[in-house]
Amino acid sequence: MSITIKHLEGPLAGQEQHFDDTVGAILFGRDREAAEVVYPPEYDVVGRKHFALRRNEAGDYSVELFGKRYVGIDGIAADNGTPVKSGSVFRLGRQDGPSFKVEIAAPAAEGLPVTGEQSTMLTAAERDRALRRQFGYALGAIGAILIAIVGYFDYQHSTLAYQIEAAKAEASERAKQEFSKAALDRLEAAVYLVAKKEGEGEMAEGTAWAFGPDKDKLATNAHVTEAIKGHESEFFLIAPDGKHIKIKSVTLHPGYLVFNKYKTTQGVTRWGNFTPLDLINEYDVGIIEIDPATPLPVDSATGNPVTLELASKDYLEQLAPGTPVASVGFPVEGLAGSESATKAPGTLHFGYISSLTDVFMCRTDKVHQLLIQHSVPVTGGASGSPLIDTSGKVIGIVNGGNTTVFKDTGEAVNAKVRMPSAALINFAQRVDLLEDLAHGAVDQNLAEDETYWRKTAARFDDYFKVAVKAFKELAQSRYAVGEGADRPLGDDVLDAGKVDSFKLVSKTYPFEAKPGQVYGFIADAESGVPVGINVKQHGTSKFLRDAKDPRQSSELELAPTAWVTVPEPTTLDVIVWSLVAQPARYVLHAYSWEEPKSLPAAAADTPSAAPQQ
């Protein structure tokens, strides 16, 4: 019996190696003195002595593992003694590691036919994995029946939870092998709990971590700093040694607020209904500055606080799916022991990068791959955790995960519970966004990003196109008019400047209205910050609205409207307004239709309930 190794991927790709039945064991590794299949010495994906294919007296081959080196056969982790079939594809080290195919030839012995095909014996671990796969296949066919019979949560805990835990355990164990103890020790020593005073007690709220060279700044998520802002005295940090540290101030990436609004303007339309994109905010990055009165604890060996190094932009642009990652944080939501989290250490988790995408979670070039999708477990409290790769440098900031939210009928009316997704795809922001924020490069880069948003958004539906279609249809049904004329009236930004709270800002546009016409005004809130429209008779405080318009007051909307008819020539003041804390870009349109002769013109001067300008 002979065996041929055909290398498919990796440094030996395209080569073939043939071993006859005189070779009792084929060792794979980087040790040139010991290995039969030798990988380059610098190719550390493979161990020096990674594993061996061992031939028994019957001529069959099986796997011999060395330590915890990963060996996958046809996508499943091999166990010691796993039998090898001809045609099997092996992968070593990790998901992007080298692969090869084995072909086993079994010529007939002299005077005797080749032994017939035998039943395959499975190891206990293989039987367990086979059962897991059977569970997965069966769930697809009978999941709906199970839900109807036993209820969703019984199903969740008996099957789905088992699959999630099994998948996490296997991925975690494989990833763990890639990290040095020194890198993990440093990771754990640099991570802090973000906590809040709650009555007489303390509650865990999130995670932060120290990054160099500053000794007074920690990184976290923007949504964590948003919660702290204005309430700094209520929040504090807890160091790995238990020390309480006061917070002086917080800063968040401006893109967090800007994109939160903008993403509501892009989506998909089905059956005439517009649904905004369900996106993770790529700019969920913030910085906490501590009070100098309570400095960070120092490492006894260096005399300085333990900080984490950020990966360079060039390095980040080379990240790829399959990269092992690790994170330390304080996940507490829905977990046992959350009440004692403020007295507990951070928890260490492992996983892999699943994908790298842009702000719309779409494929893109490496420059715009700022959202890291990964399999590290995430729940409330882990927000802000650092994500490192095997270099020990931070590549991302953990901020969210795929979960399904349910109402908890056993608790208060609005109580919710979150169930993790079986897909195990969670999210982190690439850490160069933190670098920009820390070094004042945010404004220029964000302006460039906004240009990219608008270019890329062309592949989706814009909410305003849907709104205009409904606006025209309403004009036809309400006023029995035909096609109208569109006149752009204003293209501007409502900007309150640097403010800590909402401020009323408005702009006014004069408009000449004539009797016998129906006028409809609609604004496109391009930046996603809602605006309103009021119409006044020029030079007065008299608000005008057509009697057929049931909404006699203006509201803040992405596409606000106002309808006006007049009995005599009238100069109107069309006012676009908003309560803003960030700039609100808009385009104001004035539509006009000739009023059918059979319909009398009507005008209303009911005062608006909108804020006075």
576 or 417: which carries more pLDDT confidence? 576
Each residue's pLDDT tens digit, 555-588: 899 999 999 999 999 999 999 999 988 899 999 9
Average pLDDT over residues 406-416: 50
Question: How does the average pLDDT of the chain come out, rounded?
Answer: 82
Q: What is the distance between the alpha carbons of residues 317 and 328, in angstroms, rounded to a whole number?
A: 23
Q: What is the distance between the alpha carbons of residues 590 and 602, in angstroms, rounded to a whole number?
A: 18
Identify the weakest region by mean pLDDT among 41-45, 122-126, 332-336: 122-126
Torsion of CA 196, 199, 202, 206, to 10 degrees: -30
Q: Is the CB of residue 87 less than 8 Å from the CB of residue 102?
A: yes
Average pLDDT over residues 473-481: 93
Each residue's pLDDT tens digit, 305-320: 999 999 999 999 999 9
Reported for 28-36, long-range contacts at CB under 8 A and 24+ positions apart, including other chains, are 28/52, 28/53, 28/92
Of 508, 490, 491, 505, the closest CA to residue 582 belongs to: 505
Q: Residue 225: pLDDT above 90?
A: yes
Q: Residue 247: pLDDT above 80?
A: yes
Strand duo 37-38 + 25-29: pairing: parallel
Which runs of E-coded beta strand occur in 221-329?
A: 235-238, 244-252, 266-270, 273-276, 286-290, 324-329
Strand duo 89-92 + 76-77: pairing: unpaired
Q: CA-based Rg of the chain, rounded to a whole angstrom?
A: 32
Each residue's pLDDT tens digit, 176-188: 678 989 999 999 9
Q: What is the distance between the alpha carbons of residues 309 and 213, in angstroms, rounded to a whole number?
A: 9
Structure tokens at 246: 């006061």
Each residue's pLDDT tens digit, 484-520: 899 999 999 999 888 777 889 999 999 999 999 999 9
Q: Is the CB of residue 417 less than 8 Å from the CB of residue 303?
A: no
Q: What percent of the chain has pLDDT over 70?
A: 81
Q: Where are the alpha helices (DSSP H) in 158-285?
A: 161-176, 181-189, 222-228, 254-262
In the structure, what pLDDT confidence band is assigned to residue 140 with cuts at 50, 70 and 90? very low
Identify the weakest region by mean pLDDT among 289-293, 405-409, 606-610: 606-610
Q: Is the dihedral of CA 133, 138, 141, 145 positive or negative?
A: negative
Average pLDDT over residues 62-88: 88
pLDDT at 512: 96
pLDDT at 175: 65
